[in-house]
Amino acid sequence: MKIIVTGGAGFIGGNFVYYELKNHPEDEIICLDKLTYAGNLETLEDAMKNPKFKFVKADIADREAVYKLFEEEKPDIVVNFAAESHVDRSIENPEIFLQTNIMGTQVLMDACRKYGITRYHQVSTDEVYGDLPLDRPDLFFTEETPIHTSSPYSSSKAGADLLVLAYYRTYKLPVSITRCSNNYGPYHFPEKLIPLIISRALADEPLPVYGKGENVRDWLYVEDHCAAIDLVMRKGRVGEVYNIGGHNEKSNLEVVKTILKQLQKPESLITYVTDRPGHDMRYAIDPTKIHNELGWLPQTKFEDGIKQTIDWYLTHKEWWQNILSGDYQNYFDKMYGERLD
């Protein structure tokens, strides 16, 4: 089988490329990625050595380039990870989020219709459901929870999801969607909470915690997410949405303190900064459907996954230090400069 993986130079897409090459060595993987600030070819260095892997630099919203690739490659499956993915950036500049996340999805699905595929899989997020209150631990997001978004990022992902379901109903395009909770693991760009805290704690720099650090996220080790996507795109029912999560809720403060303990760094590094506007309080996934239908269960406990992740950042300093020394520094100064003074 030939699989186009868009956004494969990013965090989850990169991990997915390695998951596929390892678990389905018979399949060919073509990574389509624009290499935005979040895309990193160093992540794919080992994959490039595999004859079953190919990299193509292109924008998913560039119709001509996407059609040309489909015409040449005739893929069986398309799995779309490509997206602008950072909530804080979407608050600063929503436009590129609509362009890539919605228009890009449309172009990919048009190419799927034109050239024919067996499955188009959309990688979505639990953020499309909005948030849950902290005082109702009995509530979880199910696939029936209404879409109710908070940020330009989550709105763009929700817009894309609706379009994917419309292409199923209107054109019978064989689609599926997964909505996953927060991921962590290797190759995570250091603007996101966990790698940001690890890299800054190692440098004994102040650790920005938004508001009171009470917000809760449902953390899933990235390889468990990859396994779930692999199952859904090959065996999941067409036209269906599957939630992915491992019942692993932690407040941001708990996460930060766990990392500090592991690194033997003092909690005095924690610095409370102005909250994110519209900051979602709690995300929590009910993964019953994917478990009952496809037998998926997460394999990595948070205690083990966070240790593995910290070890990876300790043994791959060059990967993230190259990012920190580049353009990203300008972003950090702009977003956090005054808040950390």
Question: Which of 153, 187, 242, 313 is labelled catalytic?
Answer: 153
Asked if 187 and 319 touch (Cβ cutoff 8 Å), the reply is yes
Is residue 36 close enough to count as binding ligand NAD by CB under 6 A? yes
Is residue 179 close enough to count as binding ligand TYD by CB under 6 A? no
Token couple for 94: 């929503």
Closest to 30 measured CA to CA, from 38, 42, 16: 16
Question: Is 127 annotated as catalytic?
Answer: yes
In this structure, the number of other CB atoms found within 10 A of the CB of residue 7 comes to 27
The span from the CA of 195 to the CA of 73, in Å, is 36
Question: Residue 61 touches which of ligand NAD, ligand TYD, none (CB < 5 to 8 A by kind)?
Answer: ligand NAD
Is residue 33 close enough to count as binding ligand NAD by CB under 6 A? yes
CA 10 to chain centre: 8
Question: Burial, 333: exposed, middle or buried (Cβ in 10 Å; 0-12, 13-18, 19+)?
Answer: exposed
Is residue 210 close enough to count as binding ligand TYD by CB under 6 A? yes
State which of residues 217, 225, 282, 289 lies at the interface with ligand TYD (CB under 6 A): 217
Question: Residue 82 touches which of ligand TYD, ligand NAD, none (CB < 5 to 8 A by kind)?
Answer: ligand NAD
State which of residues 18, 97, 120, 189 lies at the interface with ligand NAD (CB under 6 A): 189
The span from the CA of 19 to the CA of 234, in Å, is 14
Span 226-265, contacts to ligand TYD by CB under 6 A? 252
Q: Interacting stretch for ligand TYD, rule CB under 6 A, among 59-67, 72-80, 210-218, 304-312?
A: 210-218
Alpha helices per DSSP H over 26-151: 63-73, 87-92, 95-97, 105-115
Place of tokens 């919203």: 61
Say how many residues touch ligand NAD, by CB under 6 A: 30
State which of residues 3, 4, 5, 10 lies at the interface with ligand NAD (CB under 6 A): 10
Is residue 161 close enough to count as binding ligand NAD by CB under 6 A? no
Distances (CA, A) of 165 to 67, 105, 160, 179: 21, 12, 9, 13
Q: Which positions touch ligand TYD (CB under 6 A)?
A: 87, 182, 192-193, 196, 208-210, 215, 217, 252, 276
Give catalytic residue positions: 126-127, 153
Q: Which positions touch ligand NAD (CB under 6 A)?
A: 6-7, 9-13, 33-36, 38-39, 59-61, 81-85, 100, 104, 123, 125, 157, 180, 182-183, 189
